[in-house]
Structure 1
Amino acid sequence: MPAIRPSLLLPIFFAILSYYTISHISTHTATSQLRNRNIALLIAHPDDEAMFFAPTIQSITSPSLNNTLRIICFSTGDADGLGSTRKHELLRSASLLGVPSVNSTVLVHDHPDLQDGMYHSWSKDLVASLLSYSLHQFENGRNDENEDANPQDEVEGDGIPVDTIITFDSYGVSGHRNHISLRTAAQWYIKVYPNKPSISLYTLTSVPLYRKYLGVIDAFISAVIADKATLYAGLDGPVVQEVKYDSGKAPESLMYLSGWEGYRLAQKAMTEGHKSQMIWFRWGWIALSRYMVFNDLKLDTIGYQEY
């Protein structure tokens, strides 16, 4: 019997565990809930899209789902004076992850009151104002009425209003106050700004520290304990399986599981897209983090709470 090359063991492990994960979610159909959606992903810093949301981005940008994705980044991550570099790295990373036309679908803000800071909460009113500006710009083109707005690029409107927002949850993965501020502001925006159509808000689930570094193993754990879930998995290609929901209602939760190729692509988005950020501890993150291979999102009830 020929020996299995060591280099093949990890992909085989991914395939087996991914298949086993799928098999533990019952009563599935083969359609996607997030189909024909106009989605805005809200991130705090360049590299958030790759470090935390790569499985989601790779799944929802599949052409067969007919979604439109915009990414709104609320700072340049200029803590080390690399803001301009990091903005261009975000465009490169988003392109690698499958976001089309990044020059017109990715918007980066650079506001003096929205700077990178682990323990610095951002004003919900300011972020909501910039969110309103950004969504208006994506839909209608330039909007000069917002004095707070100072995006790094101007984009042309495409006439498509956003109906779905994805961002961090109330813990922001790591307790990062910038991340948490986005959820608070998104809730506030949905509550106080007039929106047509109505907007569904999904937030990325935070988990305890020990689960962050279990990779695909945590995907299995999450899938087994989930009562209702939509699971996207890529083994040889995207496999879409989903729990049935009442017609017209947004799914209560979504799961996105990348296969080996998707996992490697997420790593590439960091190592080739965000070269300036690849200091020692991020190598550990891209190798072991569950967020590089698995995302679970929950529909937010928009129960606004001040933080």
Structure 2
Amino acid sequence: MLKLTGDTLHKKAVLLVIAHPDDESMTDELYKACSMLKVPLKQVVVFDHPELQDGFGKVWNHTLIAKIVEDNIRSHGIDTVITFDSYGVSGHCNHRDVHIGISTYIICIHCFLVIYLSILHSASELMVLIDSQQNSFEAWELDSSSVLRKYSGPVDIWLSIFMAWCLPHRKSVCLLNEHPFKSFRAMAQHARQWVCSHPSPFSSTASTLPVLNLPCLSRGP
């Protein structure tokens, strides 16, 4: 988990939630990649939990993931979370579990608050409160793309813009990388992953999590 702050993020406190590394060597690779991207290592947290171990066919505890994310949101004042989409970029089951865990957290907080406030407040007061908190928390998912798009280089920029234009009902952003070769160098720190595949260093597309059509009122203190 990486907590990022800075002017480029409009002073937002961002929690980037990913799956893996699954062993000591991959943890070291993650630290090296973060150093390459100028992310302070004190803002990198690796959880080695017996219920969150790497492996196909191993279903992670979604409630545990939700709890870990909630604790970090509250302790660090996080107002934006970025993670995998439902496919998980590569289709890895653990990536999908991270998505489900965060979605579970958002839905549970929303449902609990709506039920609780429905008992104590009138419908009009409830809607006013929900509306006032609508923008208090954001969650974004990285759109998974095909192998063709991954290796299309700068062409993927136009494809991303076109896809966003074709789906106007989705709130999405296209992130253009001003330093693609720095991304290459950072990804190269993951030696074993680099052999298999690597993402486009030029652009990425992110969309709001579908569950965020419901207001989430879980912003940390």
Q: TM-score, normalised by structure 1?
A: 0.53
Number of residue pairs the alignment of both structures matches: 189
Which residue in the other structure is 1:298 paired with?
207
Task: Give the superposition deviation at 1:76.
Answer: 3.4
One-letter code of the match for 1:205? D
Secondary structure of the residue that 2:156 maps to in structure 1? Answer: helix
Structure 1 regions of 5+ residues with no counterpart?
1-39, 43-56, 78-82, 140-160, 230-250
Which residue in the other structure is 1:109 paired with?
47
One-letter code of the match for 1:96? M
Distance in 2, matches of 1:279 and 1:227, equals: 32
Which residue in the other structure is 1:14 paired with?
none
Which residue in the other structure is 2:154 paired with?
216
One-letter code of the match for 1:203? E
Change (3 A) 1:75 1:280: closer
Secondary structure of the residue that 1:113 maps to in structure 2? Answer: coil
Task: Give the superposition deviation at 1:253.
Answer: 0.9
Correspondence 1:177 to 2:93: yes
Change (3 A) 1:180 1:134: same
Correspondence 1:252 to 2:168: no
Q: Deviations over 1:68-106 (max 9, x none)?
A: 3444555431xxxxx22322322221122232x321x11
Q: Deviations over 1:99-129 (max 9, x none)?
A: 2x321x1111001111112443312111112
Correspondence 1:274 to 2:190: yes
Task: Give the superposition deviation at 1:170.
Answer: 0.8
Q: TM-score, normalised by structure 2?
A: 0.71
Structure 2 regions of 5+ residues with no counterpart?
114-132, 214-221
Secondary structure of the residue that 1:167 maps to in structure 2? Answer: strand
Which residue in the other structure is 1:22 paired with?
none
CA contact (8 A) 1:41 1:165 kept: no
Secondary structure of the residue that 1:280 maps to in structure 2? Answer: helix
Secondary structure of the residue that 2:210 maps to in structure 1? Answer: coil
CA contact (8 A) 1:72 1:108 kept: no
Secondary structure of the residue that 1:207 maps to in structure 2? Answer: coil
* Equivalence map 1:1-307=2 (5 Å): 61=6, 63=8, 65-73=10-18, 75-77=20-22, 83-99=23-39, 101-103=40-42, 105-137=43-75, 139=76, 161-193=77-109, 198-227=136-165, 252-259=171-178, 262-271=179-188, 273-275=189-191, 277=192, 280-282=195-197, 285=198, 289-290=199-200, 292-302=201-211
Distance in 2, matches of 1:198 and 1:225, equals: 27
One-letter code of the match for 1:135? I
Task: Give the superposition deviation at 1:300.
Answer: 1.6
Richer in helix (by share): 2
Change (3 A) 1:119 1:61: farther
Change (3 A) 1:207 1:221: same
**Percent identity over paired residues:** 26
Which residue in the other structure is 1:54 paired with?
none
Distance in 1, matches of 2:81 and 2:98, equals: 11
Change (3 A) 1:123 1:263: same
Secondary structure of the residue that 1:302 maps to in structure 2? Answer: helix
Distance in 2, matches of 1:205 and 1:189, equals: 20
One-letter code of the match for 1:173? V
Distance in 2, matches of 1:107 and 1:121, equals: 22
Secondary structure of the residue that 2:211 maps to in structure 1? Answer: coil
Which residue in the other structure is 1:243 paired with?
none
Distance in 1, matches of 2:99 and 2:212, equals: 11
Secondary structure of the residue that 2:70 maps to in structure 1? Answer: helix
Q: Deviations over 1:10-48 (max 9, x none)?
A: xxxxxxxxxxxxxxxxxxxxxxxxxxxxxx769xxxxxx
